[in-house]
Amino acid sequence: MRDVLGDIAGWYASGETFGLATVVNTFRSAPRPPGAAMAVSPGGEVAGSVSGGCVEGAVYDLAQSVMASGEPVVQRYGVSDDDAFSVGLTCGGILDVLVEPVGPATFPEFAEVAAAIERHEPVAVATVVAGPGRLGARRVIWADRASGSLAPGAPHAGRLDAAVDDDARGMLAQGLTGQRHYGAEGERRLDDLTVFVHSFAPPPLLLVFGAIDFAAAVARIGKFLGYHVTVCDARPVFATPKRFPEADEVVVKWPHKFLEEARGAVDERTAICVLTHDPKFDVPLLEVALRTGAGYVGAMGSRRTHEDRLARLREAGMTEAELGRLRSPIGLDLGARTPEETAVSIAAELVQLRWGGSGRPLSDTTGRIHADAP
């Protein structure tokens, strides 16, 4: 829904009820992940995509029907038995898509959810997609409160809602979107009821240290990948917003001191790119970075620079386990030379780390293209 928010917020504000299709489960090589969304306005305007074009026509027709009936539907799309090119997914994947009518009457919390997403405030939307109860029943969960119910009017609603609240907050903390299964009263050992939890967590952090040409390229591609990008350098003549227009913030401060202060915001989704390749900057910075919970710490430089850097870090007291977290030289081996090419190699390594890919040409691999996240 994040991708179509600008369009559907306007439709909602005008009082219209539109059709919202959301991928709630995938199998095999599905082209879009859970949470991918497509919306259809009452006038027939389309925003977003659930499959990259494979089944959009069928989903469009279903959204029209759902808007007319007012009843949500979960539809599975896969390869057609008769003709793989008719409605099915030619890639061989399978999608489960929830198509529901959304408007002020059916989703009164929508405006508040949209505002939270715009503010980068964590919020999750939990929806019943299978099992007993009402298909499409919805609950919105924030860090400190919740609204709505997954079993409105049922005597056990409080227990089910409480169980989902706990799980949704855990998923929010990790930025996870997906299905959870429960008994009718919230029992986690049962799977009678399927709930889709759509997490809208703040974007992951990309911390780029070193205000150089390579940093400008990394900042651009980082924004393209959906990161909140910060560029930091101790030299005010280089660290300026004009030089890094794509960055969300440009900070003039000694890198290691900035990272110490920002440590509380660093989590396993954070990527730290050290591009200074100057010992007086990167050694104290890496001492801090490799002791944070960041999921990625990479440093630019030649192999000779890398060996010298490791020796200095060992002298500073860093353990081999800590040094083993360092990805240096930074990026995948693409033969990159220019700042833009180097940024692509760094981005490729970030994507590989996120999804567990091999980094090899797909033409040299077999089996599923889209593997589950590690």
Q: Which of 97-101, 129-133, 218-222 has the lowest mean pLDDT?
A: 129-133
State yes or no: pLDDT of 129 exceeds 80. yes
* Residue with the larger pLDDT of the pair 127 and 173: 127
Q: Over the stretch 167-199, which tens digit does the pLDDT of each residue have? A: 999 898 878 899 999 998 899 888 899 999 999
Share of the chain above pLDDT 70, in %: 94
pLDDT at residue 250 in the model: 98
State yes or no: pLDDT of 82 exceeds 80. no
Give Cβ neighbours of residue 143 (< 8 Å, ≥ 6 apart): 122, 169, 172
Strands 94-102 and 123-130: unpaired
Mean pLDDT confidence for 239-260? 97
Could you tell me the pLDDT band of residue 299, with boundaries at 50, 70 and 90? very high
* Residue with the larger pLDDT of the pair 290 and 155: 290
pLDDT at residue 3 in the model: 80
Could you tell me the pLDDT band of residue 84, with boundaries at 50, 70 and 90? very low
What mean pLDDT value characterizes the chain? 91
State yes or no: pLDDT of 289 exceeds 60. yes
Q: How far apart are CA 330 and CA 294, in angstroms?
A: 15
State yes or no: pLDDT of 81 exceeds 60. no
Q: Over the stretch 319-368, which tens digit does the pLDDT of each residue have? A: 999 999 999 999 999 999 999 999 999 999 999 998 888 888 989 988 77
> Are the beta carbons of 236 and 262 closer than 8 angstroms?
no
Could you tell me the pLDDT band of residue 258, with boundaries at 50, 70 and 90? very high
State yes or no: pLDDT of 83 exceeds 80. no
ω into 329 cis (within 30 of 0): yes
Per DSSP (E only), the strands in the chain are 18-27, 37-40, 46-48, 73-77, 94-102, 123-130, 138-141, 146-148, 178-182, 193-200, 205-209, 228-233, 249-252, 271-274, 296-299, 326-327
> Are the beta carbons of 215 and 231 closer than 8 angstroms?
yes
Could you tell me the pLDDT band of residue 9, with boundaries at 50, 70 and 90? very high
Q: How far apart are CA 355 and CA 207, in angstroms?
A: 20
Q: Which of 49-63, 234-248, 277-291, 298-312 has the lowest mean pLDDT?
A: 49-63
